[in-house]
Structure 1
Amino acid sequence: MANVSMFFGYILKFFYNISNDYALSIVLFTILTRLILLPLTFSQMRSMTAMKMIQPEVDKINKKYKNDKQKQGMMLQQLYKENNVNPAAGCLPLLIQLPIIMAMYRVVQDPVKFVFAGDSSLYAAADRGFFWIKSLTDKDIINIGGVNLPFILPILSAGFTYLQMKMSSSKSSNSQGSEMAQSMNQSMTMMMPLMMLWWGLMFPAGLVLYWVTGTIVQVIQQYFIGKYEEKIMANKANNSSK
């Protein structure tokens, strides 16, 4: 993991040399990461759109085999396989992000080592804050009446994560029969925002900035890719009905 963190540090230093702003370097690094993961996002959205298109078939299977859960599960799995559908596709990008976050945590926690090659004076000049954020290595808090309170980033982190999860779950099955997938999606939709809120309260602002930026980019990607995939699927359905 140390080698991965060092590699990320090199990339952040490259962006810092271009932008002369450490916070902006994190934003640019995040956008680059999301672009690299774009093929996975395409695959995710294609699977979820296909799930939406085969929903009538799913409902038929659920109704036909409602008293035989084993047979129902087998038929659903066969249907998913034939249509290249993964009911849990919406969770995959979040899981893949976790190793990246672990490596980024070390970078943000110790930028002098991983980004600025041991030059603490260079980092001191670079860490000028970002909008309301006073320091990217500290938690995002605001002092009111002598009490430190969590501020904007943790709330943004939870809010955009919830939006992203809702967009994903709306593309997947809403059927009562796909109980396991539905239950997992519902649990993740509630659990992930709460987890991101907690992370935002506990971890350095730079890491939370990375997550918020990445989630915003992913929401934008999901919206436009979803529209594109729905159009493709609709054309396929029209052609097959002719």
Structure 2
Amino acid sequence: MNVIVQPLGALLKMIFDVVGNYGISIITFTIIVKLAMIPLTIKQSKSMKKMQEIQPQIKELQEKYKDDKEQMNIKMMEFYKENNVSPFGGCLPLLIQFPVIIGLFTVLRNPMDFGFTQEVVQAAFLWVPNLSQSDPWILPLLAGITTYLSSAIMPNTNNQQKTQLNVMKYIMPVMIFIWGRSFPAGLALYWVTSNIFQAVQQILINKPNLKQVEITR
């Protein structure tokens, strides 16, 4: 994990040395990291779109071989191979991003391990008197709301995935709000910034598809 954590900590410190404000450094840091992850996000979106397009054929295969699970699995894998798509294509980018997210949390939870002084970390930012301490209401509430919004605009490919997204849509914001009240405010600031970036990014990715739908109508 240090292989990921140390470069991220160095990046945050480098940004701070330029901008001179810990809160602005966290926002800039989050945006830079999210920009670096755009290729993974695009790959994930393309995979989910492809899976959505072939859902009718998948349902036909499932119905045709519903009494023979082994044969159904064989035919499904053949179908995926023929269409050059992986059922796990949408999950792989998330798995790659997971250690990066853990690294980000480690850096922002222990910033003094990466060259920050206590005075810098405990400085006020906007309405938050101390970014190293938890913000009891505003940032956790914003974190919960933006988590809901970023989940609400995510596409789904099938009923099972729709159910999973609905669970995440309503449960995760509550959990993030609760956690945000105990996390350092710097972590909550990162989460809010990350969610806003992700929501805007997903809207831009979905926009060409929306135009195509309007044209076909």
State the TM-score, normalizing by the size of structure 2.
0.79
Q: Which residue of 2 aligns with 1:148?
A: none
1:58 aligns with 2:38: no
Amino acid at match of 2:79: L
Q: 1:173 aligns with which of 158, 179, 196?
A: 158
C-alpha contact (below 8 Å) 2:156/2:162 kept by paired residues? no
Per-residue CA distance 1:186-223 (angstroms, 9 max, x = gap): 55445543443343133211112112211221222122
Aligned residues: 215
Task: Tell me how far apart the structure 2 counterparts of residues 201 and 161 of structure 1 sit (CA, whole Å).
Answer: 15
C-alpha contact (below 8 Å) 1:12/1:115 kept by paired residues? no
1:128 aligns with 2:113: no
Task: Tell me how far apart the structure 2 counterparts of residues 228 and 186 of structure 1 sit (CA, whole Å).
Answer: 24
Q: Which residue of 1 aligns with 2:132?
A: 137
User: Could you tell me the percent identity over the aligned residues?
Assistant: 39
1:114 aligns with 2:100: no
Q: Tell me how far 1:44 sits from its aligned partner.
A: 0.4
Q: Structure 1 unaligned runs (5+)?
A: 142-150, 233-242
Q: 1:226 aligns with which of 206, 210, 213?
A: 206
- 1:89-108 alignment, distance < 5 Å: 92-108=92-108
State the TM-score, normalizing by the size of structure 1.
0.72
Q: Tell me how far 1:81 sits from its aligned partner.
A: 3.5
Task: Tell me how far apart the structure 2 counterparts of residues 129 and 164 of structure 1 sit (CA, whole Å).
Answer: 28
Amino acid at match of 1:17: D
Q: Which residue of 2 aligns with 1:152?
A: 138
Task: Tell me how far apart the structure 2 counterparts of residues 76 and 227 of structure 1 sit (CA, whole Å).
Answer: 31
1:163 aligns with 2:163: no
Per-residue CA distance 1:109-148 (angstroms, 9 max, x = gap): 33233132xxx3xx5156432222222111111xxxxxxx
C-alpha contact (below 8 Å) 1:16/1:22 kept by paired residues? yes
- Structure 1's 38 and 15: CA in aligned 2 closer, same or farther, altered over 3 A? same
The CA RMSD measured in Å over matched residues stands at 3.2
1:82 aligns with 2:62: no
